[in-house]
Structure 1
């Protein structure tokens, strides 16, 4: 048996330095406790790096290295990831502080420097490595005064490396390395009137070192740093109306990208005639439901920016120099509570603690997020399909809402008038709607996946209970509502024989039950005509976790049944049952599954090649994964 990843969806963590691009068109970003690597050319996540135990706050590619990157997290560690045989080797550098906010890496002539700033006032730690295959020397503590480091960036030359640190007093401190490899204070750059949040070094065409800085005073400043001379202010760029969180140089310092919380990105270029830096392009979003951009970067002919809630917005430049939006990348930015397939397996609904319900489906040979039919005011707990284009959802407000796709949502993206909580969407009257040319992303996929016109009605749950959960199948007329009195979570197991039967849902297993209770409680009835199957879960740490109960998708596996079990550690096990015997066919570790508890598993009702199944999983780590499960001919019957 083999499991291949088809789709991975998750947003970037809400930090300004949580994502970075390199020259190989790879986007690395922190998602929950993991680092995800997204291939912009292949349009999919190609690797998940597990090494932190708390939220990843900063991710940077080590410039000048052979594909290495560095990450810092709230667990107080700095991790250097080195490519090694299709995977990444992990080197942990203890930062000494409770939370690492910002990291950066720079390599020149084989020597690598790593810098990190934790929640320690006046302290920046630096690690060095003299050769690519060597070890990092213990950190050097640089004292920068009593201020917290708000931003940092490494640059310079092999003989004169520099470290720029943004301080709480809105000044920029430059640290230089001496011949004895000791870092000392250098120049102090003054001029910004609020915190400096973004820094970036580059060499211009004349070989001069430039430093760009962005600030919460809505301006960008360019500094010229001659070697051995005084720093000079080159330009002050004013074009944003909000805090500017990041700046990023393009190739050869010919372009400068700034990203702001005012929903815009500006590309600045020097004008040879006037000698001034002018705005050459302005990119961004139109509308009031996007909370601006935390960061942006160049990647070849693309610009990639991540927004406040972690979705990635991508623009590509054509041969004529015109910038056009491309398909966006993203997903839930909090735990996924539930998911459900369309009865025909055409798409999947997901509900999360980020108060949204999202739709994911196939697109251009891959998968993408198609829309967000519900943006709620409460954390979502459950979603259930009750028709071809109908679903029900439940949240902490103890109201089950039933949504029906309108004609506008089915025939084309006509848009919607979305109120503040998105609870009663109304279709917009549109006289003319232009279809997207063949091969191009439709507008709703390129412009935010947010305006899907759907109507809804409400079903009241018992007001005396705690958490409503909706459940139903494609043949259901009205969903069954379950609202347990306590916050009880049960097992997360899916049983799926071949054949495509109607999903069946059963009650959960209470957490904290003694081991002796498992043989009596943990059981599965796929159908009243089928024999009872029992499976004992050995060990308290290996017990399945998650809401939703058991679910059957129909069919037989070599005279038995096939089960997927999601565990609290985030791993997924696949078992084959025959009679009273069971055999584990495959184990997916955290790097291929989840790094927090698996909340929901569901097999695709239809779709896939003969001899394979497709499984969708959602976890507390906000990751949504879809797998192709390929079997030998002797395992699944035709």
Structure 2
């Protein structure tokens, strides 16, 4: 029996707004390529991503939780995700606790860009779960979900709202104050907020009005119900205009502003329906703040318009009993503070407070979290004295090549906030202040991952960490964090370094020795990197391998990337004064010295996995050499196990360029002999474990074996055997641990096992394994398991299989395990690699087109 479990899943969040949601039970669901990833940020062990939910055929664009219940007893019962494939999927837990796709909402003719579920003090379940989806086809669809059983849900499309030439960019659903009549707010590309009211008579949403004010696209909308609290900031303000039960809509826009809108019954608004209400309160324009005046003055200078109209918009609705109700919507407050587009606004979740009699009751805090592309998140709250909304907290990034935050979320208790940004990573902050009126926010360990296809990965020769290469133009280092949590030894994996941040898409990576690797990208040059002192010391501290510290001596402390360059420059301890400028004058600093790259930050030995800001700026590895020779983009690179040679190939369409070049790692000169034999791109190279043979496979459907030759001119390799092995391109190859076998995998959906003929240099095929899909990655296990060879295979559809064969019968292979779909990739598996150690439980890592790096535990007992 073979048991395979996920040790680690690293996958970045999609770089779009509305890509993540934080449920009431502490679960964060986020869009990761075409997957929905499940993550618990407040887990004390920092386990990271638990599972990924496959099903969508294209990028997931938006995610929301479906809530049910009354006031503080509300829970989230399901997740809804919208995708560029034009579908929305409902995910819920089955009786065993596993996430399943209970139904798929189909009907849109373009991608779904925004989703809304009902947010209210009490959610009426009689109508089912209402869901609104907005799409690039210019429509908004209203759906009703009803549970059929523990595994399946039913749904119906109640209505399709045609937005015309406008496209919905944000949606929000709630109930009108004091009723269970749904109200839908839709932000559109026409810069207006359209308000749709459900009319029980017609059983449909009718457009009631459009709210002008924003000067750019509206990117986020969210409703909250005001609950008066004598202890809440702003509740005692003499100019306070909100009344208990009022509905408040927060809108965030690319015009850099946040607007608040108040929905209130006409009888409680204090206004006559025939008259335009007067502005009341500072936030409404009765007394403009200094910031407002400055913003108005600036808008005049730049020719922009900023509307501060306090006109009350009146609309009517008929209840089921034919009684007419009148409501007004009016502008309540303008929140200014961000310097760039506002991508998201999020109300703090309702909580429970005690009144003067000691009774617990439902309360909606007046706190808004906003996220912006200006690299900051702000928490807004009314001033206790004036009622004016002010930003009481500002957190974010300083420096680095980022585009800010795409979304920000509150935890249920409001003590944590999380953001997802332009590099696919999450940023988590915790308010550690024990006083509810104080704010002391500190960053905490979160998750990160690639936001582009991962093309290659390798284990380091000491089997301590994994290095991956991705089309997001980075190489990342993943390693375990060993420590005690509540008296128990805990190991979790994290990104420990971003060794290379490049200007080209990364394609391949290979280690030369313990601390050096060579990488290839969509350029003609290969680059060699050497681990800095701070990385080795931090790795020793976090993994518990203290013996590594002795290997860090005389190494550079870190590296810096020139502002307009591609080469990481080494920084030594003696360079600290030069780096900062001898006289402290910024004008005398080195051109590659980033202002935030202070000597202190470069010398820091980490006590926990680095935060995203540190990863971007302080974990680069120095580049020590460049290797030239190829005429086209690098395709593959591999190093000998003794560290003496590097072999590489590039994209090729002629035999002239389909050569394998060898480089001496002592002099970094290319050997005179170029290994020919192929006519098209060499897709993969592998040295045998004793370095006697070099195996190559190619797009020309051939494999070639080159044998090591040592002479007066040094080491080289010579062609010894070649065969046309497959009917289609050969994607990968691998040597068995004893070098008696090698395997090739191809687009023709077969894996072939080859062994050396006795008394001959030829290799013969002893087994052909047929699979259901093209096999894009293979690797032999590092040792025999119960006297059996074990091979892991990654398929073109993302599936991963384990195959085995008796040592004495290598012509007979069988699949012994196919990994669960929630642990596998979706799309092409680009690389698989076993960890070569003697642990009782084996591990292997995989990389795929779905942006994921995964590490698995394999137990054969």
Q: How far does residue 149 in structure 1 lie from its aligned partner after superposition?
A: 1.1
Query: Do residues 357 (structure 1) and 475 (structure 2) align?
Result: yes
Would the alpha carbon gap of residues 614 and 492 (structure 1) be closer, same or farther in structure 2, given more than 3 Å must change? farther
**Alpha-carbon offset, residue 484 of structure 1:** 4.5
Question: Cα offset for 1:575?
Answer: 0.9
Question: How far does residue 469 in structure 1 lie from its aligned partner after superposition?
Answer: 1.5
Matched, 1:215 2:253: yes
Question: Any idea what the Cα deviations from partners look like across 1:552-576, whole Å, max 9, x if unmatched?
Answer: 5532122221110111111011011
The gaps in structure 2 that reach 5 residues or longer are 69-74, 228-243, 266-325, 350-363, 483-490, 540-556, 577-597, 654-679, 703-723, 742-753, 756-765
- Please list every run of at least 4 consecutive aligned residues from structure 1 whose deviation after the TM superposition is greater than 6 angstroms: 433-438, 491-495, 500-505, 519-523
Aligned mates of 1:202, 1:511 — CA distance in 2: 62
In the alignment, what sits opposite 1:574? 802
Question: 1:67: Cα distance to partner?
Answer: 3.0
- Matched residue SS, 2:535: helix
Give the direction of change, closer, same or farther, for the CA distance of 1:493–1:128 in structure 2 (3 Å limit). farther
* Partner deviation per Cα, 1:368-411 (whole Å, 9 max, x = no partner): 11111111111111000111111110011121111012224333
Matches within 5 A, 1:389-538: 389-411=515-537, 416-420=559-563, 421-427=565-571, 429=576, 432=600, 441=608, 443=610, 447-486=614-653, 506-508=695-697, 510=699, 517-518=725-726, 525-526=735-736, 530=740, 532-533=754-755, 534-538=766-770
Alpha carbons of 1:316 and 1:493: their partners in 2 closer, same or farther (altered >3 Å)?
farther
The answer as to 2:162 corresponding to 1:140 is no
C-alpha RMSD of the superposition: 3.0
Separation in 1 of the partners of 2:698 and 2:330? 67
Aligned counterpart, 2:80: 70
* Equivalent position of 1:31 in the other structure: 32
TM-score after normalising by structure 2: 0.67
Q: Does the C-alpha gap of structure 1 residues 172 and 525 become closer, same or farther in structure 2, counting only changes over 3 Å?
A: closer
SS in 1 for 2:401: coil
Alpha-carbon distance in 2 for matches of 1:492, 1:37 = 36
Matched residue, 2:592: none
Match of 1:174 among 172, 177, 195: 195
SS at structure 2 position matched to 1:25: coil
Aligned to 1:83: 93
1:120 aligned residue (102, 125, 137): 137
Per the alignment, do residues 461 and 190 of structure 1 end up closer, same or farther by CA in structure 2, a change over 3 Å counting? same
Provide the rounded CA distance (Å) in 2 between the counterparts of 1:529 and 1:88: 43
TM-score normalised by the chain length of structure 1:
0.89
Matched residue, 1:156: 175
Q: Is the 8 A contact 1:493 1:566 kept in 2?
A: no
1:585-624 mapped onto 2 (5 Å cutoff): 585-606=816-837, 608=839, 610=840, 612-624=841-853
**Count of aligned positions:** 618
Q: Tell me the equivalent position of 1:289.
A: 401
Aligned-partner Cα distance in 2 for 1:576–1:493 = 21
Deviation at 1:139, TM superposition (A): 4.4
Taking a change above 3 Å as real, the CA distance of residues 507 and 124 of structure 1, as seen in their structure-2 partners, is same
Equivalent residue number for residue 562 of structure 1: 790
State the 1:523 CA deviation: 7.8
1:636 corresponding residue in structure 2:
none
Output the CA distance in 2 between the equivalents of 1:274 and 1:132: 51
Helix, strand or coil at the partner of 1:138: strand
Gap change, CA 1:552 and 1:585, over 3 Å in 2: closer
Runs of 5+ consecutive residues of structure 1 not aligned to the other structure: 633-638
> Against the structure 1 CA distance between its residues 101 and 422, is the aligned structure 2 distance closer, same or farther, given a 3 Å change threshold?
same
Q: Which moved more, 1:211-220 or 1:127-136?
A: 127-136
In structure 1, what is the Cα distance between the partners aligned to 2:37 and 2:692? 32
Distance 1:554 1:562 in 2: 9
Larger radius of gyration: 2
- Separation in 2, partners of 1:56, 1:341: 31
1:174-197 deviation digits (Å, cap 9, x = unpaired): 111111421001232221111111
Say if 1:631 and 1:162 are closer, same or farther in 2 by CA, change over 3 A: same
- Alpha-carbon shift at residue 465 of structure 1 (Å): 4.1
Shift of 1:266: 0.3
- Deviation (angstroms), 1:255: 1.1
Q: Which has the higher contact order (CA 8 A, sep 6+)?
A: 1
CA drift of 1:551 comes to: 4.5
Q: Tell me which moved more, 217-226 or 467-476.
A: 467-476
| 1:487-545 deviation line (CA, Å, top 9, x unaligned) | 858689999xxxx99999732364889xx944998986436763655441315x42311
Separation of aligned partners in 2, 1:484 and 1:151: 44
With over 3 angstroms needed to count, the CA separation of the structure-2 counterparts of 1:83 and 1:512, relative to structure 1, is farther
Matched, 1:330 2:448: yes
8 Å contact 1:369–1:449 — kept in the other structure? no
Tell me, yes or no, if the aligned pair for 1:349 and 1:358 is still in contact at 8 Å: yes
Contact kept, 8 Å, 1:345 with 1:607, in 2: the verdict is: no
Deviations 1:234-260 (A, max 9, x none): 210100000001100003132100000
Q: 1:9 to 1:29 in 2, by over 3 A?
A: same
Q: Among 256, 265, 268, which residue is 2:380 paired with?
A: 268
